[in-house]
């Protein structure tokens, strides 16, 4: 039950604690090769593991970063959490998981608690437009990476933002439909409340323009639901949007959805109307959640490069935390990728 301490190792190896400590902290060159081997063996034999609390108390550093997500129950965030944890492991970090449940107060409390836990780097996936509630903690020295949220003018100066280029993403999606020959395109989204949503709509509009289609020929279906507010709501919105769109005189042949759940709802609405997805109507999603590939038909969608994004988040955090001092913020926009599956094809006739 009693753990092995550095003193016991030192004693058993016939050296001082500093020698053991030196070995532990990558200063092996300071000692004779034979000493080194002896200490290494002793550590091995005794099964010694440094006490993190003591180490942290002494150095002020933790090997833990915080992750605040709306909910890992959501596959999108679950998938990101997984990638982030793997990236963190590579760099010798652990991840403390915090679900904000979209409660701004819970989010703020978590951030403060993480700080007082000694954690100096946090990845925040916030649903909130403003980050002023975390500004005080950042002022104290917390390094924060905002994920999936484009940088804002009034963001704290030191903030790092990592996100995909949403405009490029939906431009890819829309251009794909235009290239296939579609001429009547619709964009389905709830209210364009967040910057992400606005950007995605902008990409859609850009692509139409480039394809020589005027924007006013397209249909924007405004709903009340908020971005990723709930999977069920997104899907339901898509379904109803499809019903409405397909009952018009000149129904679209291609639909760009704000996200995959919405696209899935659209697919269902298309089927409700007695039409087939992928042949009668082409549908493109966004995010490439696990489900997209498992759906029937597999969904053409825009993939967020999760692995790269997670790695970038860890790199930023590690660099900043280890440097210590205040560092200027920046914004990283990664390029999304179009994944073509079976929900899109050339229009009929």
Does residue 267 contact residue 277 with C-beta atoms inside 8 Å?
A: yes
User: In this chain, which of 11, 17, 229, 273 binds DNA, going by CB under 7 A?
Assistant: 17
* Share in percent of the chain as helix, strand, coil (round to 5): 45, 15, 35
CB of residue 113 to DNA, shortest distance in Å: 14
- Binding residues for DNA, rule CB under 7 A, total 28
Residue with tokens 């940088």: 151
What whole-number distance in Å separates Cα of residue 137 and Cα of residue 129? 18
Nearer to DNA, 52 or 217 (CB): 52
Question: Using CB distances below 5 to 8 A depending on partner kind, what does residue 78 bind out of DNA, a copy of itself, none?
Answer: a copy of itself
Closer by beta carbon to DNA, 50 or else 141: 50
Tell me which residues in 23-62 interact with DNA (CB under 7 A): 24-25, 30-32, 35-36, 48, 50-51, 54-55, 57-59
Q: Is the peptide bond before 266 cis (omega within 30 degrees of 0)?
A: no
Binding mask 56-85 for a copy of itself (x = CB under 8 A): xx----x-x--x---xxxxx-xxx-xxx-x
Q: Per DSSP, which regions of 107-198 are E strands?
A: 121-124, 143-147, 160-164, 185-188
- 132 near a copy of itself (CB under 8 A): no
CB of 135 to DNA, least distance (A): 23
- Yes or no: say if 139 and 146 are a contact pair by the CB < 8 Å rule: no
Rounded to whole angstroms, how far apart are CA atoms 138 and 100?
18
* Of positions 12, 19, 79, 288, contacts DNA by CB under 7 A: 19
Using the rule CB under 8 A, which residue among 154, 179, 293, 322 binds a copy of itself? 293
Nearer to a copy of itself, 122 or 178 (CB): 122
Q: Which of 78, 70, 148, 75 is nearest to 294 (CA)?
A: 75
Specify whether the CB–CB gap between 346 and 305 falls below 8 A.
no
Partners of 94 in the β-ladder = 64
- Which residue is it, tokens 């099964």? 47
- Binding of DNA by 128 (CB under 7 A): no
- 3 state DSSP class of 65: strand
Partner that binds at residue 97, options DNA, a copy of itself, none, CB closer than 5 to 8 Å by kind: a copy of itself
Instruction: Quote the CA–CA distance of 176 and 285 in Å, as a whole number.
Output: 12
How are beta strands 94-99 and 121-124 bridged, if at all? unpaired
The footprint of a copy of itself on residues 233-262 (CB under 8 A) is 235, 261
CB of 150 to a copy of itself, least distance (A): 24
d(CA 121, CA 281) in angstroms, rounded, equals: 46
User: What CA–CA distance (Å, rounded) separates 193 from 157?
Assistant: 23
Name the binder of 41 from a copy of itself, DNA, none, CB < 5-8 A by kind. Answer: none
Residues 121 and 65: beta-carbon distance below 8 Å: yes
Q: Residues 193, 226: contact at Cβ < 8 Å?
A: yes
Per partner kind, with CB cut-offs from 5 to 8 A, the member of a copy of itself, DNA, none near residue 25 is: DNA
Which residue, 119 or 256, has its beta carbon nearer to a copy of itself?
A: 119
| Residue 327 is a binding residue for a copy of itself (CB under 8 A) | no
- Min dist CB 216 to a copy of itself, Å, is 33
By beta-carbon proximity to DNA, the closer residue of 7 and 210 is 7
Q: Is 154 in the site for a copy of itself (CB under 8 A)?
A: no
User: Which residues are at the interface with DNA (CB under 7 A)?
Assistant: 2-3, 5-7, 14-19, 21-22, 24-25, 30-32, 35-36, 48, 50-51, 54-55, 57-59
């Amino acid at each position: 039950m009693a753990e092995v301490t550095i003193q016991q190792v030192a004693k058993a190896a016939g050296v001082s604690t500093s020698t053991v400590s030196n070995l532990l902290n990558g200063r092996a060159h300071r000692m004779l090769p034979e000493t080194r081997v002896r200490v290494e063996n002793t550590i091995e034999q005794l099964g010694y593991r440094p006490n993190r609390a003591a180490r942290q108390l002494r150095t002020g550093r933790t090997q833990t970063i915080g992750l605040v997500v709306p909910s890992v129950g959501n596959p999108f965030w679950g998938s990101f959490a997984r990638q982030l944890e793997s990236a963190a492991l590579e760099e010798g970090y652990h991840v403390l998981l915090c679900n904000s449940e979209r409660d701004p107060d819970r989010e703020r409390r978590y951030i403060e608690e993480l700080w007082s836990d000694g954690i100096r780097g946090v990845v925040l996936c916030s649903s909130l437009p403003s980050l002023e509630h975390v500004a005080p903690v950042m002022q104290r020295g917390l390094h924060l990476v905002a994920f999936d949220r484009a940088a804002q003018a009034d963001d704290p100066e030191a903030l790092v933002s990592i996100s995909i280029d949403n405009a490029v993403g939906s431009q890819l999606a829309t251009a794909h439909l235009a290239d296939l020959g579609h001429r009547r395109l619709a964009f389905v989204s709830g209210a364009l409340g967040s910057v992400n949503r606005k950007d995605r709509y902008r990409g859609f509009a850009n692509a139409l323009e480039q394809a020589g289609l005027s924007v006013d020929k397209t249909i924007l279906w405004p709903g009340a639901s908020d971005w990723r507010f709930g999977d069920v709501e997104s899907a339901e919105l898509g379904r109803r949007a499809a019903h409405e769109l397909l009952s018009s005189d000149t129904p679209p042949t291609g639909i760009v959805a704000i996200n995959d759940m919405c696209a899935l709802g659209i697919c269902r609405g298309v089927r409700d109307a007695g039409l087939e997805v992928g042949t009668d109507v082409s549908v493109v999603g966004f995010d490439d959640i696990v489900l997209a590939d498992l759906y029937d038909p597999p969904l053409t969608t825009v993939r967020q490069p999760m692995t790269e994004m997670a790695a970038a988040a860890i790199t930023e955090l590690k660099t900043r935390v280890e440097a210590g001092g205040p560092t200027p913020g920046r914004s990283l926009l990664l390029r999304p990728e179009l994944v073509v599956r079976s929900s899109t094809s050339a229009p009929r006739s």
